Structure 1
């Protein structure tokens, strides 16, 4: 092997002009970086959801409330919260809240079969599941054979403007589904958990090497495996991607990649901690929505 080739670093000539040959990495956690964005851009829109605008300050308060709810039901550092949601505000709130509370999130795809769902919930030892009312039955189907103790249920209409929310339900433009009790589990509505919990700031101190996400592989070579992302690996990759793509706070991101997938979690989290406005795309197959977003 010719070491001279590597010492000359020929790949650097292919870097974009704005990309430096090396980077200096911060050691701020996801939650700390998000809080920094709240301080810088409190009134800036963080999320656009079917006409509704949620500012960074509002996202901060909502995630504080959910974090306080999670701590109130006994969530401990490294406990896992499963997010079984499309790209709607509750998913983003959930990601931030779990980080503030010192927990770990795992993305639960709505496309998982019952056996796949059962495997992931057991393998990750998920304690809390946040799901959608129209997906609730998928969780109920495996509730007797999985370890979670609490289910938080949101709706598509949550966080929509009042008129759109009411008319959407009356005209049956917004899908809904019944949510029934589960034996041995506590089931609560997302908005109730938010309203009943205080907005006091939450930031459970975590180490740079601590796990923050457990994202599962596609299972092409056997049962899906949980890939561990630490504060260090995730936030370092964030710095690399934001630098390479030259993403700035004034940019707007169309968030069509599902957050329950590693690509969506990466880009959604990277931009959220950069002060970038995101347009939530609940259904990326809806071409009309994408064109008009």
Structure 2
């Protein structure tokens, strides 16, 4: 398939293709940034700035320490931290030492953590002490031999660091008691590494950079094998795509991105951390995006230009009473990813910031970005945009054949330099998702219009089948989200004697007076009969992943109760 109708939608200056061969590895990309931007701020965290030069020196010390542990090239090192400066330092160190990063969600239970550590075969882990008790509960069943412990304030300087760590441990009591004999402290590791020799390995584009575990929302959590060239490609694709907007950052201002999404998630890993490295940008690290007052307080201190986020975060911030304390006037690009952006949220965000949300699309398996709306767009399109440079997308039927009819739904498949090599040690699972000609089958149902814009209708498994009719939860949620009294909502299918399945709607109210009857009336006016919810439930909050994706699975399981 050589025809790319979507190229006509590209803004002026965005190339059809990028050249990932300009770097042999992510290490080369990072080291170039360390050298070129040594005096610039790389990370801003709780009032403390850390320069590119400092990140360079500390990560080299950490890399030297890792090389003293007797690990072999290509061994896996797990990282289990929120957005603290120790995370990017550790990423750079692991890659520079010739090892593989295994990103771990800090909120995992011992069962989930044990599965990931065993599956990846990680020999070492860098973990924030808040979650050390989780590791203690499962480490015996894993191959982990080396534990590096860090604390929230470790890179904030002596006085402030001690104060922050004291508050976290003793006032907020966020560190449950744990015992991990032999664990070494992060700052001690840096001191040891300062006097240890460091040997830079010769890394190649096809070496593995990271194992990115897919959230486990579709069964057993699998590791997407992302090579150095996969992530490099996605960084360059994202840079090219954002350039029309980021090119408007005034001369003399350092491009600055808000990093409220967790860096262990591939969206923030690539589009915040690695892209900022490439452009010499500053990253504002937000350790807990759920604490909206703290997020807004931090943002009120900065000038920033780029804000990647998920729908729930845009929505929560836009509705917060402190929203006006932040200067949003410098914002050039708001990228929505991770889940569908709702029209009502996009409308409110544009009204309040003057910067439209550009919805993008991607997966852990695609490093992650595959498509995005043009950053020059002035209104919300309700689509996931068009494939980004060097990317091909198509719609397949159940037999894996191209659906040529425009607007006909099928499975979205993606091909490009950012697509993963495989699932880690799972040739069976890899074979299920890769076509013979190199397309990755996403499991998402979508349509493409004549201009090459794609729209996700839903996950295959989230579809609700009502009397033989397909109901896509995203559509119903988008409609209900437009009701003024609704803060958030989610749709799942529930068993129904008459229709096989019926639509269940779960709502978090903005207006306490909102009634089920009002919702039904609104749905009757906006949705055809079989799409209307038969069951309406009000809750105080919706179950979500740490990234803010709504867990429909948990709502589905709750229906049995």
After TM superposition, the score normalised by the length of structure 1 is 0.90
Give the distance between the partners of 1:22 and 1:107, measured in 2 at CA: 29
What is the aligned length? 285
Higher mean C-alpha displacement, 199-208 vs 87-96: 199-208
Q: What is the SS of the residue equivalent to 2:42? A: strand
- Alignment partner, residue 180 of structure 2: 181
Q: 1:20 and 2:19 equivalent?
A: no
- Alignment partner, residue 293 of structure 2: 288
- Alignment partner, residue 274 of structure 1: 279
Give the distance between the partners of 1:120 and 1:44, measured in 2 at CA: 36
Give the distance between the partners of 1:115 and 1:239, measured in 2 at CA: 37
Change in 2 beyond 3 A, CA 1:179/1:114: closer
C-alpha displacement of 1:170: 5.0
The structure in which a higher percent of residues are helix is 1
Contact 1:52 1:160 (C-alpha < 8 Å) held by counterparts: yes
Give the distance between the partners of 1:113 and 1:280, measured in 2 at CA: 24
Q: What is the SS of the residue equivalent to 2:240? A: helix
Extract unaligned runs of 5+ from structure 2.
Answer: 248-252, 300-561
C-alpha displacement of 1:201: 5.9
Q: 1:241 and 2:238 equivalent?
A: yes
Give the distance between the partners of 1:287 and 1:233, measured in 2 at CA: 33
Q: 1:218 and 2:223 equivalent?
A: no
C-alpha displacement of 1:222: 2.2
C-alpha displacement of 1:238: 1.0
Contact 2:133 2:179 (C-alpha < 8 Å) held by counterparts: no
Structure of higher CA gyration radius: 2
Deviations 1:217-266 (A, max 9, x none): 12233210000000111111111011101257931011111111111211
- Alignment partner, residue 81 of structure 1: 77
Contact 1:51 1:161 (C-alpha < 8 Å) held by counterparts: no
Give the distance between the partners of 2:184 and 2:176, measured in 1 at CA: 15
Q: What is the SS of the residue equivalent to 2:147? A: strand
Which of 252, 255, 258 is the equivalent residue of 2:256?
252
Which of 23, 38, 50 is the equivalent residue of 1:54?
50
Contact 2:23 2:29 (C-alpha < 8 Å) held by counterparts: no
Give the distance between the partners of 1:109 and 1:38, measured in 2 at CA: 27
Contact 2:214 2:224 (C-alpha < 8 Å) held by counterparts: yes
Higher relative contact order (CA 8 A, sep 6+): 1
Change in 2 beyond 3 A, CA 1:167/1:119: closer
Give the distance between the partners of 2:284 and 2:24, measured in 1 at CA: 25
C-alpha displacement of 1:196: 1.4
Give the distance between the partners of 1:84 and 1:256, measured in 2 at CA: 16
Deviating runs (4+, > 3 A) in structure 1?
Answer: 166-179, 199-202
- Alignment partner, residue 454 of structure 2: none
Deviations 1:169-199 (A, max 9, x none): 45556755555333xxx31001101111127
- Alignment partner, residue 10 of structure 1: 5
Give the distance between the partners of 2:139 and 2:267, measured in 1 at CA: 28
- Alignment partner, residue 88 of structure 2: 92
Extract unaligned runs of 5+ from structure 1.
Answer: none
Give the distance between the partners of 1:169 and 1:99, measured in 2 at CA: 28
Give the distance between the partners of 1:288 and 1:64, measured in 2 at CA: 36
Give the distance between the partners of 2:36 and 2:15, measured in 1 at CA: 26
Q: What is the SS of the residue equivalent to 2:231? A: helix
